[in-house]
Amino acid sequence: MTTTTLKTRTILSLLLAACVHAAQGAEPLSIDQRVTQLMKRMTLEEKVGQLTQYSGDADPTGPVAVKGSLRDGISSGQIGSIFSAKGTRSIRQYQDLALQSRLKIPLLFGLDVIHGYKTTFPIPLAEAASWDLEAIERSARVAAIEAAAAGIHWTFAPMVDIGRDPRWGRVMEGAGEDTYLASRIAAARVKGFQGRQLGDTDAVMACVKHFAAYGAAVGGRDYNSVDMSERMLWETYLPPFKAALDAGAATVMTSFNDLNGIPASASRYLLRDTLKGKWHFTGFVVSDWRSIEEMTAHGFVANNKEAAQAALSAGNDMDMESGVYRENLAQLVHEKKVALADVDDAVRRVLRKKFELGLFDDPYKFIDPERERAMLNKPEHRQAAREVAAKSIVLLKNDRAVLPLSKSIRKLALIGPMIKLGVENHGYWSVTVPEVDYAHQAVSAWDGIAAKLGKDATLLYAKGSDIEGEDRSGFAEAVRVASEADAVVIGVGERWDMSGEARSRSKLDLPGVQEELIKAIVATGKPVVVMINAGRPLVFDWTADHAPAILYNWWLGSEAGNAVADVLFGDVNPSAKLPMTFPRSVGQIPIYYNHFNTGRPAPNPTATEWVSAYTDLINLPKFPFGFGLSYTTFRYADLKLDRQTLRGDGKIKVSIQLTNTGKVAGEEVVQLYLRDRVASVVRPVKELKGFRKVALAAGETRTVDFTIDKESLSFFNAALQWNAEPGDFDLMIGASSADIRLQSRFVYAR
Ligand code: BGC
């Protein structure tokens, strides 16, 4: 049977059923009623099928026949979801097979759309540096529009794991170290992905991951264990999940780690008690890749059958890739080791989403090659990517106002192994990179700068060194080229795939001889701008101390080079602020701004005797959380609190006057921090509780407002109750966590 006849038949039979129902004068069935009706017709094996997901084996650059076992599994209704198949041509093949199954239950297609689909946006950590919730939501929106047009129903994003340890390569996927910022960003991403409502053909289901505490892997080593107090879990690691769920996230993915000895994929505490219990989550939970099967390696279960039993019973609805549900669940139900009610609950959750997506009304709803052609890489998507990319670039240093460079510069030297990289700018977890899809190459810094300057300027080039390795043979040429130029831009950093999953590193210096290359170029005395590509905070103390200007560019996506040129030449004034603390040395990690004071806080940055400090290191980070410069300057003045005492459920209105004191327009991220002076459990030295990104013309002044309420003061006490305690609070407003410009105090009274 051809696809078209199949499609027509399915739609006809569904329409017929609906007409009969309507002719009987009945109300249209609710989704839950439709799920119930369908489940009555399902065998146990078919139910298990809905809980089984495999990665697709279609060639990513074009469709090939779906292979044997996968083909049979889908057409016999034993597989409910496929991930990593992409493009309408490929996806149609799979859906055709599903519609050959007895009950014709459509497949659900998932993919890691982490920062864009064809149009790649900056890596999530970079976007977090923008502190621009609208831009971040727009980025996820564009990703959803493109992915949905390519047949995808579901993205495995946002990743909301708090990252306090830059050795962990997956910090590039998250929003950094701060719970408040990460929570706001998690909600923005979910809204962007899911659009107006599930079922629209420009929306994909979000999957908030990895539940939970994956970012706290001991030593920053990926997949490592996590051991933490419940208080820390609830206060620091869980809120971004809650924020994503409150924003409507349809699904949740478990994490690879064990948490206090229990693998997350079989944690009843996390899944049944917290997520589905306390938080009333009605979507479904998917395991991470083979994480159910991996519980044997954890030593938590003896075999795959026990793994299936433990995971399903704990509330893990869908098994990604390990096949242990498919092989064992039906038997486990027969043996009464798994309750049928638990299986039914999981199936109901999955089917509900398929109904919400409208797949039962039209399984081919997302498969429209015309739409796919029209939507991918649209000019306005590229434009949005360029804007977000420019907003994500952090200006770390700008001595003697080296930046912005003049557009009428005559000779500019571009040096370093990153300058001419194209497709690599897509970064880790891009959908495009594995295809080496040259049609959708990202713009290199070289091309972006050349396009900006036009023909009147001469660009000189020397690679200087590789990213890794000891080869210094290119240094002399690089120095010669630099000496001939009016200014030099050096592009160095980590290779795009040095951060990401399974990319933990014990050294965070600029790899290879790149910092030596910088030293050689800085020694020429020319105005030098160092641009660093990386997926995490790196350690580059010499460069930070000696290079006059530094831009932290992360990995910026399809429009990288254009965005870089926009910032280098002042068409965009940088406004990003670091979402993670940058250490001076790997030995300082984990390092984060919202630490406790301890009983022996260091009174100054160099104190070491009998205080909490390292004897061989200044007691400060290299660049603090929230830090980032602009081409203009801002004055913070006139802090006002409308009252000094906050009572019960009341509010304090806080305002300041922010003035752009420089000569160009710019945006500032005004940050509000609080400190609870005395509490029943010790509280951080400061905690971000609000921020505003404000655009000001040169010379302009604006009032910036914040509201503080009981929620802003609340925390989990020793009994894990969320509450605010009466007493004194410090209020700090500043341009970074370490650059507090205005301070006050207030009292909370019940
Ligand atoms: C990652 C997940 C990802 C999954 C599917 C796993 O290895 O941990 O984040 O969604 O693979 O690609």
Where are the domains positioned within the chain? 384-588, 634-749
Point out the least confidently predicted range of 24-28, 290-294, 422-426, 609-613: 24-28
Q: Give per-residue pLDDT as tens, 355-400.
A: 999 999 999 999 999 999 999 999 999 999 999 999 999 999 999 9
224, exposed or middle or buried, with CB in 10 Å at 0-12, 13-18, 19+? middle
DSSP element (H, E) containing 381: helix 379-392
pLDDT for position 8: 47
Q: Give per-residue pLDDT as tens, 688-740.
A: 999 999 999 999 999 999 999 999 999 999 999 999 999 999 999 999 999 99
pLDDT for position 27: 87
How would you classify the pairing of strands 154-155 and 207-211?
Answer: unpaired
The CATH architecture of the domain made up of 634-749 is Sandwich (2.60)
pLDDT for position 20: 52
Q: 321 in ligand 1 pocket by Cβ < 6 Å?
A: no
pLDDT for position 750: 87
Ligand 1 pocket: which of 84, 112, 322 to mutate (most atoms within 8 A of CB): 112
Positions marked active-site: 288
In this structure, which amino acid lies at residue 111?
L
Q: 503 in ligand 1 pocket by Cβ < 6 Å?
A: no
Percent over 70 (pLDDT), the chain: 94
Number of H helices, E strands in the chain: 23, 26
pLDDT for position 17: 53
In angstroms, rounded to a whole number, what is the distance separating the alpha carbons of residues 351 and 360?
10
For tokens 């040259």, name the residue: 438
In angstroms, rounded to a whole number, what is the distance separating the alpha carbons of residues 685 and 688?
10
Ligand 1 centroid – CA 209 distance (Å): 9
Here the tokens at position 151 are 């047949």
Q: 693 in ligand 1 pocket by Cβ < 6 Å?
A: no
Q: 428 in ligand 1 pocket by Cβ < 6 Å?
A: no
In this structure, are residues 626 and 671 in contact, taking their beta carbons and an 8 Å threshold? yes
Q: 127 in ligand 1 pocket by Cβ < 6 Å?
A: no
Ligand 1 pocket: which of 156, 173, 321 to mutate (most atoms within 8 A of CB): 156
In this structure, are residues 485 and 454 in contact, taking their beta carbons and an 8 Å threshold? no
Ligand 1 centroid – CA 442 distance (Å): 24
| Helix locations, 540-602, DSSP H | 541-546, 560-568
Angular region, 286: left φ>0, alpha ψ -120 to 50, beta rest: beta
Ligand 1, atom 12, residue with closest C-alpha:
112
Mean pLDDT of 23-49: 92
384-588 carries CATH number 3.40.50.1700: yes
pTM for the structure as a whole: 0.96
Ligand 1 pocket: which of 172, 319, 501 to mutate (most atoms within 8 A of CB): 501
| Positions of E strands within 645-726 | 645-647, 651-660, 666-676, 687-696, 701-709, 715-716, 722-723
Q: 211 in ligand 1 pocket by Cβ < 6 Å?
A: no
pLDDT for position 636: 99
